Structures are given as structure tokens and as C-alpha cells.
Structure 1
Amino acid sequence: MYDVVVVGGGPSGATAAEDLVRSGHSIALLDREGRIKPCGGAIPPRLMQDFHIGEEQLLTKVTTARMISPTGRRVDIPIENGYVGMVDRKDFDPFLRERAVAAGAEYFTGTFVRIDRPEGNPVVIYRDKATQEERELPCKLVIGADGAKSRVGQAEVEGADKVPLVFAYHEIIKAPEATDTYDPMRCDVIYDGAISPDFYGWVFPHGGTTSVGMGSEQSSVNLKEATAALRVASGLDQCETLRKEGAPIPLKPMDRWDNGKDVVLAGDAAGVVAPSSGEGIYYAMVGGRVAATACAATLASGRVKDLKLARKLFMREHKTVFRVLASMQNAYYRSDDRRERFVSLCHDIDVQRLTFEAYMNKKLVKARPMAHLKIGVKNLAHLTGLVKANHV
């Protein structure tokens, strides 16, 4: 019997498995293998520090972010005193899984089917990838890190089927040479209702390749057609297409992450993707870490209420940031006029500096209260229309 079975081998599940193994627990890591999540691949320096990720995992370091408005206005934001690291999930996820296995986790490939409890303790039933036969993994606790629309969550945790989702799609293309419109050291974020009526499109460099994609909550949006239009608008329509990937992404942490007895959720399964930005890798890995902490506490104490530590620890650190980002998305993503005003606001040097300080450090910056006050006043002026959208 394993102490914990981790279902899902993405950044969240692999992190949870490694943490638990290193704290002396017996762990089974179950993953479907072969699935690559559509993802811009951006990771902040804090992730690399907190989770001991070496620079050899980076495809490139982005030093500028370009915001593009519905009318085509461009605001280039330099990333001062830092960078945005870029990874490709087809390589990054296997690296994390292999690291967990090297630490001592036992790895199984297959698809989660259900959890049985013939004698009280959970038994994870999965379909083996090679034989297609059902197999068993008996354990004391289960971590569901199997992504948005988590099968573990929907079977075990109340509310898991009600998380709002953005449907994301991207194409990995062969990167072109640097041009006036494409910079291999710059992330482009496109706020244009013609590309996405309620989210955004992106062009993110990955060294020799580039991720071009978009997302939307609206099921009526044709993601492939929108991405094709984005490639044309970005001058990337003639580049060779290497991969196409799509998947739902949750944009709100669930109110409850555990079932009150033997299951706790982590990462996308718990809804921990940042609103507004859609950033997920860092928060997924934090989600895996707090799920591992909650399981270790439960195994040590025998108290199932300790599973609640996962959500409690995560929200203590990141609740305010998530609320601010959700408010920004609700305020600015609802129309092209609002998106135009948002890009206009990004001209402000205080907005630029505080945004990327918060991104790199994963904390709201409190050191400059006057800057926050100025931003608050300017934000209100843009939302109420007191400032014209083309004001710089």
C-alpha cells in the first residue's frame, strides 16, 4: 500500500510526488503520458528559485512584453531587473516527472478510472496504457492533479464540475528570423475582440520555436480560425506548424479542494490558474507543494481535517493577487473599448514596474504606496472614460 497515489504527472502532480518522496513517503505517480498541454510556457524567476529549476530548462529569457490593443496600438514594457523564462511543456513536464521518479516515486502510465474503497482505504483503479487492463493502486490518500475537468475531482469533490473555464488553443511553429513584427526576446499579448472576445491572444518565443494561441470562455468562438487570424496579423502565417494543442483552463480556485476523508486536489484540478493572465505553471507547482504538505500532515496526525491545509496555505499566500487579477479581468476584458483603455493604462511607468515586480516575485508590491495611489486614480479615470483611450 502506498502512502499517496498522485493522479496526474504535470507540474503540480510531479511536484507533489517529489516533495512527498523526499519527506520519506511511498508514492505512486500515475500519468496518461503523451499529452501536451497548450501553454505559453512562461515561468518567473521565483519558480526557478523555489523549485530548484536550472537555467538549462529555459529555451529563452524574455526581456520585453508588448501589449497590443484592438486598434493595433503597441506598448512595449521592459522587464527591469529580471526576465520571463520560457519553457516548452513537451520537455518541461517529462523533466519534472523524471526528477520525481529519480527521487523515489514509482511511475505508472495509464488513465484514471475510479476510486474504490473495499476495505475503507482508497484503491485507485486505472487502465494500463500498454495492456488496456484495469489495475489497482491501493493507498492511504489520493492527490488529484489531473487537470481541468479533473476526473478525480468530479468523482470525489463537491463543486469540481462548476469551475469556470477558458478554452485555450495554440500552435507551436518554427520561429522566424527577427523582424519588425517578431522579436525572439519579446512576448506579445494581443487584446483584440477579433481574436478573443473575452480573453487574449499571444505570441511567445521558445527559442527555435514559437507558441501562437488564444483563449476564450465562449464556446461559440472558433479557436483554430482565431489563431489563424492571429498568425496572419503577426506575420507568422507562412511559418511551419509543428504542433497543435488545445485544452480547457480553469480561472477560479475552487471553494473546497478535498473530500473530507482521503482525496485532495492540486493545480488545474483545484482551479489555481491566475485570472486575467492565465498563468498556471508556477501556481500549479505551488498547488502540488501545498497538497503534499497537507497529505504529510494528515498521514502524521491521522486527522483528515488536515487535508484542508492545502487550500488554506495556498490562499494565505495568493488570495489577494488572485482577487486583484480577477477584478482586472472583469473590468477590462468585457469590450474592445475597455481593452483599449487597459493598453493605454499600460503606458504608465508605475503600472509597468509594479506589474513585473509582482510577476517575478509573486507578491503585490507594497514598498511604494504613492505609486499604488497614482495607479488607483489612473485606473478609475480610464474605467470611467475621464481619460481618452489614446491618451499616453
Structure 2
Amino acid sequence: MEFDAVVIGGGPCGATTAMDLARNGWTVALLDKAGRIKPCGGAIPPRCVRDFDIPDAQLVAKIDTARMISPKGAHVDIPIENGYVGMVDREHFDEFLRVRAAEAGATRLTGTYLKVEREGGDTFVSYRPKEAGAEPVRLKTRLVIGADGARSNVAKQEIPDGGDITYVIAYHEIIKAPANHDEAPKYNAGRCDVVYNGAISPDFYGWVFPHGENASVGMGTGIKGFDLKVATAQLRADSGLTHCETIRTEGAPIPLKPMKRWDNGKDVLVAGDAAGVVAPSSGEGIYYAMCCGRRAAEAGHMALAKNNGRYLRLARRRFMREHGMVFRVLGRMQDTWYRSDDRRERFVTLCNDIDVQRLTFEAYMHKQLVFAKPIAHLRIFAKNCLHLARLIPAS
């Protein structure tokens, strides 16, 4: 089989890339493993719904409050003004995106990527179909786009320093949500709980995110040897959710820093988690993966149309122009506030500030830093300095 482009990985990034390329008239193969569900809280902001035409039926819940919980159990409830945070279940959401890509004209293939091969100036993607005992298949292509996750085999094989990526390991349990308040008084089906506690995660955070009839309970950490399942069991106990039925469990690496290079300058480009595109501090990935997929499709379209692999560099350039500042700010925030329980306690205290709440959620909802309120920024900067100097109490 022969295609203009082969997209490896059918998550939000890969499916978006395949859909956009197919809509531009290119022949596209979308290669994906069947049955793999990424651990994910499932939150998407209204901008994601708007920019990528996500139907309301895909939202299993709409969240109107975020609760930040400190190591000592203090909490701050932050109302989400003028909107909501939508929640999706990746089991169904990712498949919806793959189906939409196929409807746009992409050819879906199921199997395991093996390698990129080159012969006589031609490029081939080798993969093993899912069927038991199947022999490897080769696809002739002009362009390979790797959207195959944080430890991307495409990146390792084809991109300089592609195996060097910073990540945390995320683990979560999808559970049956409590039927009523009496069954689990701490659980609220309209609220996301974010837990900053070194016992749950020594360098990231834990979460309890409603998914309609279900809920996602999990955490992430980059500390080797830390027992994720024990920490998640503790999180469920602290949240009064130990008794809830466990439907499935999932774990995977989550990158926290974009790679410095995403392409080989010829015929290979990586995107999404494979390029390190997950927001530091928050761990938000779905929206940024889909944005990255769109930029990858634009760069791929240019490279194919001009028959010049140098256009592949546009994917990273355009993405970082749009989101690089947000990633840098969130990275500094994580480095500053997640390093100890004392810092986490102070961070939750800061979240009680109305200026912090408004600017944070305006930035989250609209996906850009808000600079229109300089006085508020000065007040936040001053409070940060006072907390870091331990000149004001943490609660």
C-alpha cells in the first residue's frame, strides 16, 4: 500500500493530524494499537470544544468548581466563572476522533509500529498487524508523523536526541462514581479535586475527576521507586472512595517538556506526547496534543506540497510561538511550588487569592496568558515573594 503520509498513533494528536491531512486531499494511513487507553483526568477547556468541534455528547461531565487540597487538608474552592471544564472519557473520546479521521478520508490500520526503512530514495513504514501470527507489512510513504507517545519509538529511531525526554509516570483508576452524597460525602460530581500532598505525589499531584457515572482517581510522579498504586489507594481512602468498584486501571509516561527538535529535516516529524507536548504543572495534554496535531498537519501539508522536508520545522516553530510562554511559566511554577509540602501548603494558600483565581482560569479557559491587569500581576508577584521568604503564614 502507498500513502502520502503515515501517522503512527491514534490518540488526540495523531487522529487530528490524520483528519486535517486527509481533509487537505492527501492519502493518509492512521496506524494505531487497539485497546490501549491512556491514563488521563480527561479535562478539556471550552476553547478545545470550540476549536476542534467537539460535540456535547462527548462530554461525560461539566465541571464548575476546582478544589485545591493542601498537605494538611486545607482546601480552596475555585469557581469556574463564565464557563465550565468539560470532561471526556479517553476510551470513547479517542475512538470518536479516530472515526472522524476515517470519515475525512484517512485509512485506519491496526497494529504495532516496527521501524522506518529507506530503499532507493523511497521511505517505508513497517508494522505488524494485530492478527495473531501476522507477518510484518510495509507501507510506502512520503511522510511519517510519529504521534506514538512519550517514549516514542519513532522519535528514538529518527529524531536527533529523540530518546531524551523529561516525563512523569501517571497512574489512575477509573471507578464507579458514588451514587449519592451519603455514600461519599467528600465527592462532588461537579467538582475536580486536585491534591497537593507529598504522600500522594512527591513532585506532582493527585486528582479526583468526575466522569459522569464514573470517576478518574490518580496521580503522577517522576520519582523512581515510588509506589503509584499504594499512593492511589491512599488517595481513594482520603477521598472516601475505597469502597467504589474499580472498572479499569491504566498507567503511562507523561512528558513535561517539549523536545528541542521534532523533525529530521526530510521525511519524519513527531508530535503530541512524542514531541513532549504536555503542560508542566497542570499535566494538561488533550488540548495541546490536538493543537500540536493541527500544526503537524499544516507543516506536513507544506512539506508534501513543496516536496521539501525543511517545511516540517514549521510545526514546532508555530506551536512554540503560540504556547511556549505558557509552558515556560508553568514549568517555573512547578519547579517553585511542588518541591516540598511547605511550598505546596503555601501554593494552596495563594490559590485562595481572587486575583490568582481569575487570572489562572482566564488563562486556562482561553489558553493564553492574561496581561490586561498589571496591578493584579504586581499583587500576585508580591504575595509569591512573601510566601517564598516565609514572611506570611501558609494558611
> Do they fold alike, i.e. is TM over 0.5?
yes
Q: 2:174 — aligned with what?
A: 172
Q: 1:203 — aligned with what?
A: 208
2:312 maps to a residue whose letter is: L
- CA–CA separation in structure 1 for the residues paired with 2:389 and 2:4: 55
Once the two structures are TM-superposed, the CA of residue 62 in structure 1 deviates from its matched residue by 0.3
Once the two structures are TM-superposed, the CA of residue 119 in structure 1 deviates from its matched residue by 2.1
Once the two structures are TM-superposed, the CA of residue 238 in structure 1 deviates from its matched residue by 0.3
Once the two structures are TM-superposed, the CA of residue 310 in structure 1 deviates from its matched residue by 0.4
2:81 maps to a residue whose letter is: E
- CA–CA separation in structure 2 for the residues paired with 1:375 and 1:22: 45
* Aligned-partner SS, 1:117: strand
Q: 1:104 — aligned with what?
A: 105
- CA–CA separation in structure 2 for the residues paired with 1:345 and 1:55: 34
2:331 maps to a residue whose letter is: A
Q: How does 1:370-389 map to 2 (within 5 A)?
A: 370-389=375-394
Alpha-carbon RMSD? 0.8
In terms of mean alpha carbon deviation, does 365-374 or 246-255 score higher?
A: 365-374
- CA–CA separation in structure 1 for the residues paired with 2:317 and 2:57: 33
1:241 to 241, 246, 265: 246
- CA–CA separation in structure 2 for the residues paired with 1:166 and 1:101: 32
- CA–CA separation in structure 2 for the residues paired with 1:166 and 1:387: 32
The reply to whether residue 218 of structure 1 matches residue 218 of structure 2 is no
Q: 2:373 — aligned with what?
A: 368
The reply to whether residue 302 of structure 1 matches residue 307 of structure 2 is yes
Once the two structures are TM-superposed, the CA of residue 180 in structure 1 deviates from its matched residue by 3.2
Contact 2:46–2:84 under 8 Å retained in 1 = yes
Q: 2:69 — aligned with what?
A: 68
- CA–CA separation in structure 1 for the residues paired with 2:161 and 2:376: 39
Deviations 1:307-346 (A, max 9, x none): 0000001000000000000000000000000000100000
Q: 1:155 — aligned with what?
A: 157
Once the two structures are TM-superposed, the CA of residue 371 in structure 1 deviates from its matched residue by 1.0
Q: How does 1:1-392 map to 2 (within 5 A)?
A: 1-131=2-132, 132-176=134-178, 177-178=180-181, 179-390=184-395
Once the two structures are TM-superposed, the CA of residue 152 in structure 1 deviates from its matched residue by 0.6
Once the two structures are TM-superposed, the CA of residue 122 in structure 1 deviates from its matched residue by 1.5
Contact 2:15–2:101 under 8 Å retained in 1 = yes
Once the two structures are TM-superposed, the CA of residue 302 in structure 1 deviates from its matched residue by 2.0
Once the two structures are TM-superposed, the CA of residue 253 in structure 1 deviates from its matched residue by 0.2
- CA–CA separation in structure 2 for the residues paired with 1:49 and 1:174: 29
* Aligned-partner SS, 1:5: strand
2:271 maps to a residue whose letter is: A
1:368 maps to a residue whose letter is: K
Once the two structures are TM-superposed, the CA of residue 87 in structure 1 deviates from its matched residue by 0.3
Deviations 1:273-294 (A, max 9, x none): 0000000000000111111101
* Aligned-partner SS, 1:338: helix
1:108 maps to a residue whose letter is: L
- CA–CA separation in structure 2 for the residues paired with 1:50 and 1:186: 24
Once the two structures are TM-superposed, the CA of residue 377 in structure 1 deviates from its matched residue by 1.1
1:32 maps to a residue whose letter is: K
- CA–CA separation in structure 2 for the residues paired with 1:303 and 1:383: 50
Between Structure 1 and Structure 2, how many residues are aligned? 390
2:17 maps to a residue whose letter is: A
- CA–CA separation in structure 1 for the residues paired with 2:389 and 2:327: 23
Once the two structures are TM-superposed, the CA of residue 45 in structure 1 deviates from its matched residue by 0.4
Q: Which runs of 5+ in 1 are unaligned?
A: none
Q: Which runs of 5+ in 2 are unaligned?
A: none
Contact 2:185–2:240 under 8 Å retained in 1 = no
Deviations 1:324-379 (A, max 9, x none): 00000000000000000100000000100111110010000122111111111111
- CA–CA separation in structure 2 for the residues paired with 1:303 and 1:370: 48
* Aligned-partner SS, 1:99: helix
Contact 2:59–2:86 under 8 Å retained in 1 = yes
Once the two structures are TM-superposed, the CA of residue 215 in structure 1 deviates from its matched residue by 0.4
1:90 maps to a residue whose letter is: E
- CA–CA separation in structure 1 for the residues paired with 2:56 and 2:302: 32
Contact 2:68–2:196 under 8 Å retained in 1 = yes
- CA–CA separation in structure 2 for the residues paired with 1:55 and 1:383: 42
- CA–CA separation in structure 1 for the residues paired with 2:212 and 2:284: 20
- CA–CA separation in structure 1 for the residues paired with 2:260 and 2:161: 8
